[in-house]
Amino acid sequence: MQFLKSIIFNLIFYPIIVIASVIVIVLYPLISRELLQKVASFWVMTILYILKIVCGIGWEVKGLENIKDKPCILVSNHQGVWESFFIQTLVIPSFSVLKKELLYIPIFGWAVACMNPIYIRRSNKISSLKKVINDGSKRLKDGGSIIIFPEGTRARPEKGLKSFSNSCGLLSIKNNVPIIPICHNSGLYWKNRKFIKSKGLVKLRIGEAMYGTDPKDLTNDVYKWIKKNFDEIN
């Protein structure tokens, strides 16, 4: 049954992605960046509600009150597509750190580029770190927030957490903005590189703002919080 539901979802999902991407591209020169993200967030939530109706993947969010109306750095574990979509809707304006290759995807990648993300090349870690710090600092000073997946790549839930890069700690301390830790178990249901979507409830937890004076110590504190919650919900 879930196989059939997954077919139905994908038959809806990909046309919506194309339509939404075209809309974003057309609106890009006409409206503000913040309003453009609100438009994109509407389409994201439309997709997730369709996923819920068709495949039975709902979600539960705890700690939403910890996100205040000021620039911050959202730091989350990374398991798949679901959180890549959903976390973008939590703070507007926000800017995601992502691999540059995504921008080369026809239509979808062009729409992503319109959202002005911080794109990096994973093959060059030093230059990528500098770019995250420099570009991220500019966006924070302009009133935006940054979304970082410090594991770098998606990890299957059964494999546990990967090590975190220190970019989030460096960016936080340099700009005196808080890190908001986020943990979820979306990979149990919208599994990475798996066609079949498994019915279930995505649990997403948002922690209190975290500050520090040492980048490594702060990143480690964020890791510990996410690890604790990861072990509880996965």
Mean pLDDT of all residues in 111-118:
94
Alpha-carbon gap, residue 69 to 83, rounded angstroms: 21
Q: How confident is the model at residue 85 (pLDDT cuts 50, 70, 90)?
A: very high
Alpha-carbon gap, residue 151 to 165, rounded angstroms: 7
Q: Tokens 């939590």 label which residue?
A: 90
For the chain, percent of residues with pLDDT exceeding 70: 100
Confidence check: pLDDT of 234 > 90: no
CA 136 to chain centre: 15
Q: How confident is the model at residue 125 (pLDDT cuts 50, 70, 90)?
A: confident
The pLDDT, as a whole number, for residue 143 is 94
Length of the chain as a residue count: 234
Q: How confident is the model at residue 46 (pLDDT cuts 50, 70, 90)?
A: very high
Alpha-carbon gap, residue 67 to 122, rounded angstroms: 29
User: How much is the mean pLDDT over the chain?
Assistant: 94
- The whole-model pTM stands at 0.94
Mean pLDDT of all residues in 208-231:
96
The CA–CA distances, whole Å, from 138 to 28, 114, 133, 206, 221 equal 21, 17, 9, 25, 25
Confidence check: pLDDT of 122 > 80: no
Confidence check: pLDDT of 18 > 80: yes
Q: Which two tokens stand for residue 116?
A: 């002005």
Confidence check: pLDDT of 112 > 80: yes
Q: Which two tokens stand for residue 54?
A: 């068709």
Q: How confident is the model at residue 193 (pLDDT cuts 50, 70, 90)?
A: confident
210 or 121: which leads in pLDDT:
210
What are the beta bridge partners of residue 169?
none
Mean pLDDT of all residues in 85-89:
96
Alpha-carbon gap, residue 179 to 171, rounded angstroms: 9
Q: Are strands 200-206 and 179-184 parallel, antiparallel or unpaired?
A: antiparallel
Alpha-carbon gap, residue 147 to 97, rounded angstroms: 6
Alpha-carbon gap, residue 136 to 147, rounded angstroms: 10
CATH number, domain with residue 164: 3.40.1130
Q: Tokens 């990890």 label which residue?
A: 155
Number of folded domains that form the chain: 1
Domain span holding position 80: 2-233
